[in-house]
Amino acid sequence: MEHRVYSLPKKRMGELFGLISSSRQLFLPMEKGGQFQFSRVDEHTDLEGVSLDRLLTAGSAKELFFPQTQQIAAFRRRGKEIELTSAETLTSAFVAFGVRACDARSLEVLDRAFLGTPRDTMYEEKRSKGTVVTLACNEPEETCFCSVFSIDAASPKGDVETWIAGDTLYWRPGSEKGAELTQELDALLDPCSEEEPEGLIQLKQQIRSIIGKLPLGRLSLEQFRPEALQELFDDPAWQKLSEPCIGCGTCTFVCPTCQCFDIRDFDTGEGVQRFRCWDSCMYSDFTTMAHGNPRTSQVERFRQRFMHKLVYYPANHDGLYSCAGCGRCVSKCPNSMNMVKVMKTLGGAQHV
């Protein structure tokens, strides 16, 4: 597949969004109802006014592929008979534009969880219909630590990779799906003569230089390896680390890699609507079974969340960590407890 770079004057991005949304659903990071979130472009959206300067949405792009609430079935009762009346409606082809490098990596983590065995067909359907257009982070923030997980925010992997350098949008397809979308936008995108235009080279250098100076960029993963599992599990530091945690679950709901869900039935009086809803391993009733709860204290629940992300998950997935260093949990925990504190404490402060 050709990895040619295309360009478009930034002031024509409204036209680009218009053309994409004429054939597919388009989701952009936008302010809506007081929240900065991926939102669907509709006839009321002022495409000229869309700003891609803000770094992270409150929730991640995960929600487009694994929604917080998703109907999976509906049943009707007729006496003693139960009839299946509907299941989840099918997704239309869509484009998620402006996905940051950390959120794009998170989709790799979710793919391992949902596209293995057994296969999650609802997630698979959304992944097959969705084209991910990433956007490089011109101004990474102090809470970002994606580079610790070898994520390159200057060159974010996606079906299409884009950069905004000065007055120009650069666009490079990264997959067959991305090449297909690029072809559809042929009337707007200009192929660049050089493989890597000078403006793009400079922007990447600038971004990498900022990332090199970020305060959390020197966190170490050295200690978080499968052989250290028992030692980390038994570390007495979990007790103190978990004390401020009130089990609100905020960190799991904003996390782009968290993937736990619960199945809930809603009785309509005439039948049942069945939904799957995000759940949190930080909740005291998480995975409660007939015999009780496997993790009865907050310290056990807290330890599970971080051990899963830093030790269990990479041990089972070829070293892929289930944290992308997006920093959302760092800025959102009401009690300032987060991944960074865990990594600093258990990874050894000397590595920070």
Q: Which residues bind ligand SF4 (CB under 6 A)?
A: 245-251, 254-257, 282, 309, 323-329, 333-335, 337, 339
Provide the minimum distance between the beta carbon of 306 and ligand SF4 in the complex, in angstroms, as a whole number: 8
Provide the minimum distance between the beta carbon of 249 and ligand SF4 in the complex, in angstroms, as a whole number: 5
Residues 237 and 341: their CA atoms lie apart, in Å, by 11
Closest CA to 129 of 25, 58, 38, 282: 25
**Chain centroid offset of residue 195 CA:** 29
Provide the minimum distance between the beta carbon of 131 and ligand SF4 in the complex, in angstroms, as a whole number: 22
Residues 265 and 285: their CA atoms lie apart, in Å, by 17
Provide the minimum distance between the beta carbon of 280 and ligand SF4 in the complex, in angstroms, as a whole number: 7
Nearer to ligand SF4, 13 or 153 (CB): 153
Provide the minimum distance between the beta carbon of 335 and ligand SF4 in the complex, in angstroms, as a whole number: 5
Residues 325 and 343: their CA atoms lie apart, in Å, by 11
Nearer to ligand SF4, 40 or 341 (CB): 341
Nearer to ligand SF4, 154 or 326 (CB): 326
Provide the minimum distance between the beta carbon of 238 and ligand SF4 in the complex, in angstroms, as a whole number: 12
Amino acid at 30: M
Nearer to ligand SF4, 61 or 181 (CB): 61
Nearer to ligand SF4, 154 or 216 (CB): 216
Amino acid at 257: T
Nearer to ligand SF4, 214 or 333 (CB): 333
Nearer to ligand SF4, 223 or 250 (CB): 250
3-state SS, residue 348: coil
Q: Which residues pair with 272 in a beta bridge?
A: 75, 267
Beta carbons within 10 angstroms of residue 105's beta carbon: 25
295 φψ region: left (φ > 0), alpha (ψ -120 to 50), beta (else): beta
Task: Give me the phi and psi of 83, to 5 degrees please.
Answer: -115, 135
Question: What is the layout of strands, in order, in the sheet containing 130-135?
Answer: 35-40, 25-32, 94-99, 130-135, 160-165, 168-173, 6-9, 190-191
Provide the minimum distance between the beta carbon of 209 and ligand SF4 in the complex, in angstroms, as a whole number: 22
Nearer to ligand SF4, 165 or 255 (CB): 255
Tell me whether residue 77 is exposed, middle or buried, using C-beta atoms within 10 angstroms of its C-beta: 0 to 12, 13 to 18, 19 or more.
Answer: middle
- DSSP notation for 57-95: -SS-THHHHS-SEEEEEEEEEETTEEEEEEEPPPPPPEE
